[in-house]
């Protein structure tokens, strides 16, 4: 049977970046235009390259009288990430009385549409006013508030993360989103000035690093694992399952009736992360772990490669050249988030968001949480009081009974 395959890892923090040189007039919802200085497609908020007037021109074109049963994820995320000036906010009622089936409006303090339970922004009387309309919240659904709560627990449980003194980062020059396609090296020095490599002797780090050289980075070439490499996958899963981070995640998912035992959970993680699928013409040339953490080359470009340990080790070997960044997260300790540009042994990565200073189990836990709870949707989290979202997309090219983890690129 075909299953839905989430494409994970478009991390979004802070405000959507906007282009400075063009307008969205007559361009709303057009396809991505590489030659344009800024974009007006539905995905531009994720890539921080919208034109200045995108929100004004392209998010209010729908007929307000037309029912909108499903909330656009772009609109929801912009609501979470942007603060409109107080003078521009419409003082909408805080009740769902007479508002069931209404279209989503970012200026309303609470909502009454079919998907507000999923995003945790319904008005308090949503159930009583709209429950008879078939909108009642399923007891099996994981709410946004629950996702934020468990992500904060995972954040606090990451005792294996780097401390401030363990990493000296040299982020150097930031560029605008419109400059990311220029492939210009704006940073003459490496990103990492210092990393305390004693971190890498910790069991989960060591097991993680052992996996990184098990893959051919070019898509279209089938992966073949030796018995030792398969054993290394099991070792990694065994070590991460011992950590407080993964125990928090399992406890949460067990409480949500997603898994009945830790072994069932571990088995599912192995299938979704290490199961092979095809990104090119060859069967079994890729996996979620390879793509997200190790990185791949497809059609002359870097895809995936979202891990700071991998980046540091490749930079140390002279295989990665850090070019610039367009976003540096608000966290004053690790883990932090950086959206950067770099060259990997002759291939360019236009925008690669990555945690910095997190343990392998922390990233593994958050991406797995979003894969399970929000397949094909936005996963809104909270880390140390700051919002972060992981966007998932769907892909149905699999015969695995559930789904594989894959990563998104534009």
Give me the active site residues, please. Answer: 291, 306, 349
How many other CB atoms sit within 10 Å of the CB of residue 356?
25
User: What does the alpha-carbon distance between residue 60 and residue 54 come to, in Å, rounded to a whole number?
Assistant: 10
What DSSP element (H or E) covers 348? strand 347-356
Residue closest to 3 by CA, chosen among 394, 280, 408: 394
H helical segments located in 183-277: 203-211, 227-241, 244-255, 262-274
Gap between the Cα atoms of 350 and 339, Å rounded: 10
Exposure string over 21-30, b if 16+ CB within 10 A, otherwise e: ebebeebbee
The secondary structure element, H or E, covering residue 388 is strand 386-395
Say if residues 394 and 343 touch (Cβ distance below 8 Å): no
| Polymer length of the chain | 410
Q: CA-CA distance, 127 to 293, in Å (whole number)? A: 42
Distances (CA, A) of 210 to 203, 268, 274: 11, 21, 14
Token reading at 101: 């089936």
């Amino acid at each position: 049977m075909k299953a839905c395959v989430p494409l994970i890892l478009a991390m979004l923090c802070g405000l959507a970046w906007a282009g400075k040189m063009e307008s969205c007039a007559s361009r709303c919802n057009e396809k991505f235009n590489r030659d344009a200085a800024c974009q007006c497609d539905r995905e531009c908020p994720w890539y921080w390259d919208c034109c200045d007037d995108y929100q004004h021109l392209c998010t209010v074109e729908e007929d307000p009288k037309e029912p909108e049963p499903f909330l656009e994820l772009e609109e929801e995320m912009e609501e979470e990430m942007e603060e409109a000036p107080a003078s521009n906010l419409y003082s909408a009622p805080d009740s769902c009385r007479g508002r069931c089936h209404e279209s989503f409006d970012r200026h309303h303090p609470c909502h009454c549409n079919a998907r507000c339970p999923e995003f945790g922004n319904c008005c308090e009387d949503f159930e009583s006013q709209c429950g008879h309309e078939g909108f009642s919240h399923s007891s099996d659904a994981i709410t946004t508030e629950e996702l934020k709560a468990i992500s904060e627990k995972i954040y606090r449980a990451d005792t294996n993360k780097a401390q401030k003194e363990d990493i000296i980062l040299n982020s150097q020059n930031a560029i605008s989103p419109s400059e990311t396609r220029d492939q210009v090296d704006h940073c003459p020095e490496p990103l990492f000035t210092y990393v305390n490599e004693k971190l890498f002797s910790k069991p989960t780090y060591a097991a993680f690093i052992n996996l990184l050289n098990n893959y051919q980075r070019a898509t279209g070439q089938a992966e073949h694992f030796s018995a030792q490499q398969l054993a290394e996958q099991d070792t990694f899963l065994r070590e991460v399952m011992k950590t407080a981070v993964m125990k928090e995640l399992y406890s949460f998912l067990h409480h949500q009736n997603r898994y009945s035992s830790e072994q069932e959970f571990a088995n599912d993680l192995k299938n979704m992360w290490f199961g092979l699928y095809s990104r090119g013409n060859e069967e079994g040339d890729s996996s979620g772990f390879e793509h997200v953490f190790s990185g791949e080359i497809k059609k002359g470009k870097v895809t995936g490669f979202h891990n700071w340990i991998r980046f540091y080790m490749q930079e140390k070997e002279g295989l990665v050249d850090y070019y610039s960044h367009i976003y540096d997260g608000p966290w004053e300790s690790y883990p932090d988030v950086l959206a950067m540009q770099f060259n990997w042994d002759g291939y360019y990565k236009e925008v690669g968001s990555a945690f910095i200073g997190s343990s392998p189990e922390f990233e593994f836990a958050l991406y797995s949480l979003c894969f399970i709870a929000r397949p094909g949707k936005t996963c809104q989290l909270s880390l140390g009081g700051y919002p972060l979202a992981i966007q998932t997309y769907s892909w149905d090219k699999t015969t695995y009974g559930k789904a594989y983890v894959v990563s998104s690129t534009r």
